[in-house]
Amino acid sequence: MAAANRLALEGGKKAVKTAAPAWPVVTDEDAAVVAEVVKSGKWSWLGPHEIAFCEEYAKFIGAKHCICLANGTVTIQCALQAVGVRPGDEVIAPGLTWVATIQAALDIGANVVMVDIDPETLCMDPAAARAAVTPRTKALLPVHLYGNMCDMDAILALAKERGLKVVEDVAHQHGSQWRGVGAGALGDAGSFSFQQSKVLTCGEGGAVTCNDDEVRRVVFGLKQVGWAPKPGVAAEPGKPPALEPANLYGHNYRITEMQAALLRRGLLRLEEQTKRREENAAYLAAGLAKMGGPLRAARRDARVTRQAYYCMHFVFDPAKAGLTRDEYCKALAAEGVPFGKPYAPVYRHPLLNLYHPTSPVPFRSCVPQAFHSLRLPNVERACEETAMLMGQTMLLGSRKLMDEILAAVDKVNRNLKRVRKALAAQQTA
Protein backbone atom coordinates (compact mmCIF):
# COMPACT_ATOMS: atom_id res chain seq x y z
CA MET A 1 0.00 0.00 0.00
CA ALA A 2 1.39 3.42 -0.93
CA ALA A 3 2.16 5.51 2.14
CA ALA A 4 0.08 8.40 0.80
CA ASN A 5 -3.00 6.18 0.60
CA ARG A 6 -2.66 4.70 4.07
CA LEU A 7 -5.47 5.98 6.23
CA ALA A 8 -4.62 7.80 9.43
CA LEU A 9 -6.96 5.30 11.13
CA GLU A 10 -4.51 2.61 9.96
CA GLY A 11 -1.49 4.48 11.29
CA GLY A 12 -0.81 6.53 8.16
CA LYS A 13 0.02 10.23 8.06
CA LYS A 14 -2.71 12.83 8.37
CA ALA A 15 -3.79 14.48 5.15
CA VAL A 16 -4.11 17.88 6.85
CA LYS A 17 -0.83 19.34 8.03
CA THR A 18 -1.62 23.06 7.88
CA ALA A 19 -2.97 24.65 11.04
CA ALA A 20 -6.10 26.78 11.12
CA PRO A 21 -5.70 30.40 12.24
CA ALA A 22 -5.97 31.14 15.95
CA TRP A 23 -9.16 32.66 17.32
CA PRO A 24 -9.91 35.24 18.52
CA VAL A 25 -7.64 37.50 16.50
CA VAL A 26 -5.51 39.58 18.87
CA THR A 27 -3.21 42.40 17.77
CA ASP A 28 -0.98 44.84 19.60
CA GLU A 29 -3.40 47.58 18.54
CA ASP A 30 -6.29 45.72 20.23
CA ALA A 31 -4.34 45.50 23.47
CA ALA A 32 -3.33 49.15 23.27
CA VAL A 33 -6.92 50.36 22.78
CA VAL A 34 -8.14 48.33 25.76
CA ALA A 35 -5.23 49.64 27.87
CA GLU A 36 -6.27 53.19 26.98
CA VAL A 37 -9.80 52.46 28.18
CA VAL A 38 -8.51 51.04 31.45
CA LYS A 39 -6.35 54.11 32.03
CA SER A 40 -9.25 56.44 31.21
CA GLY A 41 -11.35 55.22 34.11
CA LYS A 42 -14.45 55.22 31.90
CA TRP A 43 -15.28 51.54 32.03
CA SER A 44 -19.08 51.48 31.57
CA TRP A 45 -22.28 53.54 31.34
CA LEU A 46 -22.34 54.70 27.71
CA GLY A 47 -18.68 55.45 27.12
CA PRO A 48 -17.35 56.83 23.82
CA HIS A 49 -16.45 53.38 22.44
CA GLU A 50 -19.92 52.01 23.15
CA ILE A 51 -21.60 54.99 21.50
CA ALA A 52 -19.27 54.77 18.50
CA PHE A 53 -19.67 51.02 18.08
CA CYS A 54 -23.46 51.28 18.14
CA GLU A 55 -23.33 53.85 15.35
CA GLU A 56 -20.80 51.84 13.34
CA TYR A 57 -22.56 48.51 13.75
CA ALA A 58 -26.00 49.89 12.90
CA LYS A 59 -24.49 51.26 9.69
CA PHE A 60 -22.79 47.92 8.95
CA ILE A 61 -26.05 45.97 9.41
CA GLY A 62 -28.17 48.59 7.67
CA ALA A 63 -30.41 49.22 10.69
CA LYS A 64 -31.44 52.55 12.18
CA HIS A 65 -30.49 51.61 15.74
CA CYS A 66 -28.06 49.36 17.63
CA ILE A 67 -28.11 48.92 21.41
CA CYS A 68 -25.32 47.00 23.17
CA LEU A 69 -26.18 44.60 26.00
CA ALA A 70 -24.42 42.14 28.30
CA ASN A 71 -24.87 38.98 26.23
CA GLY A 72 -26.81 37.35 23.43
CA THR A 73 -29.45 35.86 25.72
CA VAL A 74 -30.73 39.06 27.32
CA THR A 75 -30.77 40.59 23.84
CA ILE A 76 -33.47 38.10 22.83
CA GLN A 77 -35.40 38.73 26.05
CA CYS A 78 -35.35 42.50 25.62
CA ALA A 79 -36.08 42.37 21.89
CA LEU A 80 -39.11 40.15 22.44
CA GLN A 81 -40.43 42.39 25.20
CA ALA A 82 -39.81 45.51 23.13
CA VAL A 83 -41.90 44.22 20.21
CA GLY A 84 -44.77 43.44 22.56
CA VAL A 85 -44.40 39.83 23.75
CA ARG A 86 -46.07 39.44 27.14
CA PRO A 87 -46.51 36.54 29.63
CA GLY A 88 -48.79 33.93 28.15
CA ASP A 89 -48.10 34.89 24.55
CA GLU A 90 -46.81 32.19 22.22
CA VAL A 91 -43.50 32.53 20.39
CA ILE A 92 -42.70 30.15 17.52
CA ALA A 93 -39.07 29.02 17.35
CA PRO A 94 -37.16 26.20 15.63
CA GLY A 95 -36.45 22.98 17.48
CA LEU A 96 -32.79 23.24 16.46
CA THR A 97 -30.96 26.19 18.00
CA TRP A 98 -28.81 26.96 21.00
CA VAL A 99 -30.74 26.56 24.27
CA ALA A 100 -30.59 30.30 25.06
CA THR A 101 -33.01 31.09 22.22
CA ILE A 102 -35.73 29.10 23.97
CA GLN A 103 -34.77 30.11 27.52
CA ALA A 104 -34.92 33.80 26.66
CA ALA A 105 -38.55 33.52 25.60
CA LEU A 106 -39.53 31.28 28.52
CA ASP A 107 -37.85 33.58 31.03
CA ILE A 108 -40.04 36.55 30.07
CA GLY A 109 -43.19 34.47 30.56
CA ALA A 110 -43.83 33.55 26.94
CA ASN A 111 -44.80 30.05 25.87
CA VAL A 112 -42.50 28.59 23.24
CA VAL A 113 -43.84 26.47 20.38
CA MET A 114 -41.00 24.62 18.65
CA VAL A 115 -41.35 23.68 15.00
CA ASP A 116 -39.42 21.62 12.49
CA ILE A 117 -36.63 22.86 10.23
CA ASP A 118 -35.79 22.92 6.56
CA PRO A 119 -33.27 20.06 6.21
CA GLU A 120 -31.17 22.03 3.71
CA THR A 121 -30.71 25.18 5.82
CA LEU A 122 -31.34 23.78 9.34
CA CYS A 123 -33.46 26.91 9.85
CA MET A 124 -37.14 27.28 10.74
CA ASP A 125 -39.44 25.71 8.12
CA PRO A 126 -41.93 28.48 7.20
CA ALA A 127 -44.63 25.89 6.46
CA ALA A 128 -44.18 24.35 9.91
CA ALA A 129 -44.32 27.81 11.47
CA ARG A 130 -47.52 28.62 9.59
CA ALA A 131 -49.15 25.41 10.84
CA ALA A 132 -48.22 26.31 14.44
CA VAL A 133 -49.82 29.78 14.49
CA THR A 134 -52.75 30.12 16.91
CA PRO A 135 -54.73 33.13 18.21
CA ARG A 136 -52.19 33.27 21.08
CA THR A 137 -49.16 33.58 18.79
CA LYS A 138 -47.42 36.94 19.12
CA ALA A 139 -44.03 36.53 17.47
CA LEU A 140 -41.86 34.44 15.20
CA LEU A 141 -38.28 33.82 16.35
CA PRO A 142 -36.35 32.65 13.26
CA VAL A 143 -32.75 31.60 13.89
CA HIS A 144 -30.20 32.11 11.11
CA LEU A 145 -28.17 29.04 12.01
CA TYR A 146 -24.50 28.15 11.42
CA GLY A 147 -23.89 29.16 7.79
CA ASN A 148 -27.44 29.53 6.51
CA MET A 149 -30.25 32.07 6.58
CA CYS A 150 -33.95 31.47 7.06
CA ASP A 151 -36.34 31.97 4.16
CA MET A 152 -37.10 35.53 5.19
CA ASP A 153 -39.48 36.14 2.27
CA ALA A 154 -41.78 33.44 3.63
CA ILE A 155 -41.26 34.37 7.29
CA LEU A 156 -42.01 38.05 6.74
CA ALA A 157 -45.01 37.24 4.53
CA LEU A 158 -46.45 35.02 7.25
CA ALA A 159 -45.87 37.70 9.88
CA LYS A 160 -47.60 40.34 7.77
CA GLU A 161 -50.54 38.07 6.98
CA ARG A 162 -51.13 37.06 10.62
CA GLY A 163 -50.12 40.29 12.36
CA LEU A 164 -47.05 38.80 14.05
CA LYS A 165 -43.76 40.32 15.16
CA VAL A 166 -40.42 38.96 13.92
CA VAL A 167 -37.31 38.88 16.13
CA GLU A 168 -34.32 37.48 14.27
CA ASP A 169 -31.75 35.48 16.25
CA VAL A 170 -28.63 36.59 14.41
CA ALA A 171 -26.01 35.19 16.81
CA HIS A 172 -24.35 33.27 13.93
CA GLN A 173 -24.79 35.78 11.12
CA HIS A 174 -22.91 39.04 11.69
CA GLY A 175 -22.97 40.55 8.21
CA SER A 176 -25.20 38.16 6.28
CA GLN A 177 -27.58 39.79 3.81
CA TRP A 178 -30.91 38.68 2.34
CA ARG A 179 -31.59 40.40 -1.00
CA GLY A 180 -29.03 43.03 0.03
CA VAL A 181 -30.60 43.74 3.43
CA GLY A 182 -28.65 42.84 6.53
CA ALA A 183 -29.72 40.02 8.83
CA GLY A 184 -30.94 41.83 11.92
CA ALA A 185 -32.57 44.59 9.87
CA LEU A 186 -35.21 42.44 8.18
CA GLY A 187 -37.64 41.86 11.04
CA ASP A 188 -38.85 44.04 13.90
CA ALA A 189 -35.61 43.45 15.81
CA GLY A 190 -32.39 41.46 15.56
CA SER A 191 -30.45 39.82 18.38
CA PHE A 192 -26.66 39.39 18.15
CA SER A 193 -24.16 37.60 20.38
CA PHE A 194 -20.51 38.61 20.75
CA GLN A 195 -19.47 35.53 22.74
CA GLN A 196 -15.88 34.36 22.18
CA SER A 197 -16.54 31.86 19.39
CA LYS A 198 -18.59 34.32 17.30
CA VAL A 199 -17.21 35.96 14.15
CA LEU A 200 -17.40 39.34 15.92
CA THR A 201 -16.42 38.95 19.54
CA CYS A 202 -15.43 40.71 22.73
CA GLY A 203 -15.56 37.55 24.88
CA GLU A 204 -19.19 38.11 25.90
CA GLY A 205 -21.74 40.74 25.01
CA GLY A 206 -24.60 41.24 22.59
CA ALA A 207 -26.62 43.80 20.66
CA VAL A 208 -30.16 44.46 19.48
CA THR A 209 -30.67 46.13 16.11
CA CYS A 210 -33.96 47.65 14.96
CA ASN A 211 -35.52 50.34 12.80
CA ASP A 212 -38.28 51.44 15.16
CA ASP A 213 -37.67 54.27 17.64
CA GLU A 214 -39.97 52.83 20.30
CA VAL A 215 -38.42 49.36 20.10
CA ARG A 216 -35.03 51.01 20.58
CA ARG A 217 -36.34 53.05 23.52
CA VAL A 218 -37.74 50.01 25.34
CA VAL A 219 -34.63 47.85 24.78
CA PHE A 220 -32.46 50.74 25.95
CA GLY A 221 -34.53 51.20 29.10
CA LEU A 222 -34.61 47.49 29.87
CA LYS A 223 -30.82 47.26 29.73
CA GLN A 224 -29.92 50.66 31.21
CA VAL A 225 -31.57 50.25 34.66
CA GLY A 226 -34.71 52.02 33.45
CA TRP A 227 -33.14 55.05 31.74
CA ALA A 228 -34.14 55.55 28.10
CA PRO A 229 -33.63 58.18 25.38
CA LYS A 230 -36.01 61.11 25.49
CA PRO A 231 -38.50 60.80 22.62
CA GLY A 232 -37.95 63.28 19.82
CA VAL A 233 -34.51 64.37 21.03
CA ALA A 234 -31.80 63.31 18.58
CA ALA A 235 -28.32 62.69 19.96
CA GLU A 236 -25.30 64.30 18.41
CA PRO A 237 -23.04 61.83 16.54
CA GLY A 238 -20.59 60.26 18.96
CA LYS A 239 -22.49 61.53 22.00
CA PRO A 240 -24.83 59.64 24.35
CA PRO A 241 -28.53 60.40 24.01
CA ALA A 242 -30.39 62.56 26.49
CA LEU A 243 -31.99 60.15 28.97
CA GLU A 244 -35.03 60.15 31.20
CA PRO A 245 -36.65 57.58 33.51
CA ALA A 246 -38.65 55.37 31.17
CA ASN A 247 -41.18 54.15 33.76
CA LEU A 248 -40.65 50.49 32.88
CA TYR A 249 -39.15 47.44 34.61
CA GLY A 250 -35.47 48.01 33.89
CA HIS A 251 -32.43 45.81 34.45
CA ASN A 252 -28.67 46.16 34.44
CA TYR A 253 -27.72 44.44 31.22
CA ARG A 254 -24.96 46.89 30.29
CA ILE A 255 -21.88 46.09 28.25
CA THR A 256 -18.49 47.44 29.35
CA GLU A 257 -16.35 50.01 27.57
CA MET A 258 -13.48 47.50 27.24
CA GLN A 259 -15.79 45.13 25.36
CA ALA A 260 -17.01 47.91 23.09
CA ALA A 261 -13.42 48.86 22.26
CA LEU A 262 -12.67 45.27 21.23
CA LEU A 263 -15.82 45.16 19.12
CA ARG A 264 -14.78 48.27 17.22
CA ARG A 265 -11.42 46.68 16.47
CA GLY A 266 -13.07 43.44 15.34
CA LEU A 267 -15.53 45.29 13.14
CA LEU A 268 -12.61 46.76 11.20
CA ARG A 269 -11.63 43.20 10.20
CA LEU A 270 -15.07 41.70 9.73
CA GLU A 271 -15.76 42.46 6.07
CA GLU A 272 -12.41 41.08 4.92
CA GLN A 273 -12.87 38.00 7.11
CA THR A 274 -16.39 37.47 5.78
CA LYS A 275 -15.10 37.67 2.22
CA ARG A 276 -12.38 35.10 2.97
CA ARG A 277 -14.85 32.71 4.58
CA GLU A 278 -17.23 33.04 1.62
CA GLU A 279 -14.44 32.36 -0.87
CA ASN A 280 -13.18 29.32 1.02
CA ALA A 281 -16.71 27.97 1.50
CA ALA A 282 -17.36 28.28 -2.24
CA TYR A 283 -14.05 26.56 -2.98
CA LEU A 284 -14.87 23.65 -0.67
CA ALA A 285 -18.40 23.36 -2.08
CA ALA A 286 -17.09 23.21 -5.66
CA GLY A 287 -14.40 20.70 -4.74
CA LEU A 288 -16.88 18.38 -3.05
CA ALA A 289 -19.35 18.66 -5.95
CA LYS A 290 -16.61 17.67 -8.39
CA MET A 291 -15.51 14.82 -6.15
CA GLY A 292 -18.93 13.30 -5.53
CA GLY A 293 -19.44 10.82 -2.74
CA PRO A 294 -21.38 10.96 0.53
CA LEU A 295 -20.54 14.54 1.52
CA ARG A 296 -21.66 17.80 -0.04
CA ALA A 297 -21.99 21.42 1.02
CA ALA A 298 -25.48 22.63 1.87
CA ARG A 299 -26.97 24.53 -1.05
CA ARG A 300 -26.88 28.29 -0.68
CA ASP A 301 -30.13 30.15 -1.35
CA ALA A 302 -29.67 32.57 -4.25
CA ARG A 303 -31.48 35.25 -2.23
CA VAL A 304 -28.60 35.28 0.27
CA THR A 305 -26.43 38.04 -1.17
CA ARG A 306 -23.77 37.85 1.54
CA GLN A 307 -23.23 34.88 3.84
CA ALA A 308 -21.47 35.08 7.16
CA TYR A 309 -20.29 31.70 8.42
CA TYR A 310 -20.26 30.85 12.11
CA CYS A 311 -19.95 27.32 10.74
CA MET A 312 -20.22 25.87 7.27
CA HIS A 313 -22.98 23.26 6.99
CA PHE A 314 -22.41 20.02 5.07
CA VAL A 315 -24.92 17.28 4.28
CA PHE A 316 -23.83 13.65 4.73
CA ASP A 317 -25.57 10.68 3.06
CA PRO A 318 -25.10 7.54 5.20
CA ALA A 319 -26.44 5.30 2.43
CA LYS A 320 -23.64 6.35 0.06
CA ALA A 321 -20.95 5.82 2.68
CA GLY A 322 -22.03 2.61 4.36
CA LEU A 323 -21.04 4.41 7.56
CA THR A 324 -22.81 6.46 10.16
CA ARG A 325 -22.17 10.17 10.21
CA ASP A 326 -20.21 9.81 13.46
CA GLU A 327 -18.01 7.07 11.97
CA TYR A 328 -17.33 9.22 8.93
CA CYS A 329 -16.43 12.17 11.14
CA LYS A 330 -14.07 9.97 13.13
CA ALA A 331 -12.20 8.96 9.99
CA LEU A 332 -11.90 12.60 8.89
CA ALA A 333 -10.83 13.71 12.36
CA ALA A 334 -8.00 11.19 12.18
CA GLU A 335 -6.94 12.86 8.92
CA GLY A 336 -6.91 16.24 10.66
CA VAL A 337 -10.33 17.61 9.64
CA PRO A 338 -12.33 18.50 12.78
CA PHE A 339 -15.93 18.30 11.59
CA GLY A 340 -18.51 18.94 14.28
CA LYS A 341 -22.15 18.03 14.84
CA PRO A 342 -25.17 20.29 15.38
CA TYR A 343 -26.65 21.11 18.74
CA ALA A 344 -28.92 18.47 20.20
CA PRO A 345 -32.65 19.12 19.67
CA VAL A 346 -33.56 21.85 22.15
CA TYR A 347 -36.47 19.91 23.58
CA ARG A 348 -34.13 17.16 24.80
CA HIS A 349 -30.83 18.99 25.14
CA PRO A 350 -28.78 17.73 28.12
CA LEU A 351 -28.08 21.34 29.16
CA LEU A 352 -31.76 22.32 29.22
CA ASN A 353 -34.07 20.16 31.30
CA LEU A 354 -37.34 21.94 30.63
CA TYR A 355 -39.01 20.00 33.47
CA HIS A 356 -36.42 20.64 36.18
CA PRO A 357 -37.78 22.60 39.17
CA THR A 358 -35.56 25.54 38.18
CA SER A 359 -37.43 25.80 34.86
CA PRO A 360 -40.64 27.86 34.59
CA VAL A 361 -42.36 25.13 32.58
CA PRO A 362 -43.50 22.86 35.47
CA PHE A 363 -45.19 25.80 37.18
CA ARG A 364 -47.32 26.90 34.25
CA SER A 365 -50.95 25.88 34.08
CA CYS A 366 -50.96 25.92 30.28
CA VAL A 367 -48.03 24.85 28.09
CA PRO A 368 -48.85 24.42 24.38
CA GLN A 369 -46.38 21.55 23.79
CA ALA A 370 -45.38 18.46 25.73
CA PHE A 371 -41.63 18.90 25.23
CA HIS A 372 -40.72 15.49 26.67
CA SER A 373 -42.67 13.73 23.90
CA LEU A 374 -42.06 16.23 21.10
CA ARG A 375 -40.65 14.77 17.89
CA LEU A 376 -39.50 16.89 14.95
CA PRO A 377 -38.27 14.54 12.18
CA ASN A 378 -36.05 16.94 10.24
CA VAL A 379 -34.42 18.22 13.42
CA GLU A 380 -33.68 14.73 14.64
CA ARG A 381 -32.38 13.41 11.32
CA ALA A 382 -30.04 16.39 10.96
CA CYS A 383 -28.79 16.10 14.54
CA GLU A 384 -28.30 12.35 14.50
CA GLU A 385 -27.52 11.37 10.90
CA THR A 386 -26.86 13.98 8.24
CA ALA A 387 -25.58 17.40 9.37
CA MET A 388 -21.84 18.11 9.65
CA LEU A 389 -20.23 21.43 10.52
CA MET A 390 -16.89 23.13 10.00
CA GLY A 391 -16.06 26.01 12.32
CA GLN A 392 -15.46 29.53 11.09
CA THR A 393 -11.76 29.56 12.01
CA MET A 394 -11.07 26.79 9.46
CA LEU A 395 -12.70 28.97 6.80
CA LEU A 396 -10.19 31.72 7.57
CA GLY A 397 -7.39 29.36 6.57
CA SER A 398 -5.16 29.40 3.53
CA ARG A 399 -5.97 27.87 0.16
CA LYS A 400 -3.38 25.22 1.05
CA LEU A 401 -5.51 24.26 4.06
CA MET A 402 -8.62 24.06 1.86
CA ASP A 403 -6.80 21.77 -0.57
CA GLU A 404 -5.66 19.55 2.29
CA ILE A 405 -9.22 19.34 3.61
CA LEU A 406 -10.49 18.25 0.19
CA ALA A 407 -7.63 15.76 -0.08
CA ALA A 408 -8.59 14.30 3.30
CA VAL A 409 -12.23 13.88 2.25
CA ASP A 410 -11.17 12.32 -1.03
CA LYS A 411 -8.82 9.95 0.78
CA VAL A 412 -11.59 8.76 3.09
CA ASN A 413 -14.16 8.54 0.27
CA ARG A 414 -11.85 6.36 -1.86
CA ASN A 415 -11.27 3.97 1.03
CA LEU A 416 -14.63 3.59 2.72
CA LYS A 417 -14.32 -0.19 2.99
CA ARG A 418 -10.98 0.17 4.76
CA VAL A 419 -12.46 2.83 7.02
CA ARG A 420 -15.14 0.36 8.09
CA LYS A 421 -12.53 -2.32 8.66
CA ALA A 422 -10.26 0.01 10.68
CA LEU A 423 -13.12 1.19 12.85
CA ALA A 424 -14.26 -2.38 13.46
CA ALA A 425 -10.71 -3.33 14.48
CA GLN A 426 -10.62 -0.45 16.96
CA GLN A 427 -13.88 -1.60 18.53
CA THR A 428 -12.63 -5.15 19.03
CA ALA A 429 -9.14 -4.16 20.24
pLDDT (average), residues 314-327: 98
pLDDT (average), residues 336-350: 97
Q: What is the pLDDT of residue 2?
A: 58
Under 8 Å between Cβ of 154 and 123: no
Provide the 10 A C-beta neighbour count for residue 40. 12
* Positive/negative CA dihedral, 43, 47, 50, 56: negative
Q: Residues 14-67: pLDDT tens digits?
A: 999 999 999 999 999 999 999 999 999 999 999 999 999 999 999 999 999 999
Rounded CA separation 357/280 (Å): 46
Q: Residues 158-170: pLDDT tens digits?
A: 999 999 999 999 9
Beta strands, E only, 265-385: 295-297, 304-306, 311-316
Res 235 pLDDT > 90:
no
Rounded CA separation 336/346 (Å): 30
Q: Residues 98-132: pLDDT tens digits?
A: 999 999 999 999 999 999 999 999 999 999 999 99
Lowest mean pLDDT among 151-155, 238-242, 376-380: 238-242
- 237 pLDDT band (50/70/90 cuts)? confident
Res 429 pLDDT > 70:
no
30: left (phi over 0), alpha (psi -120 to 50) or beta: alpha
Res 338 pLDDT > 60:
yes
Report CA-CA distances (Å) from 385 to 284, 288, 314, 326, 380: 21, 19, 12, 8, 8
Cis status of the peptide bond prior to 245, with omega within 30 of 0:
no
Q: What is the pLDDT of residue 238?
A: 86
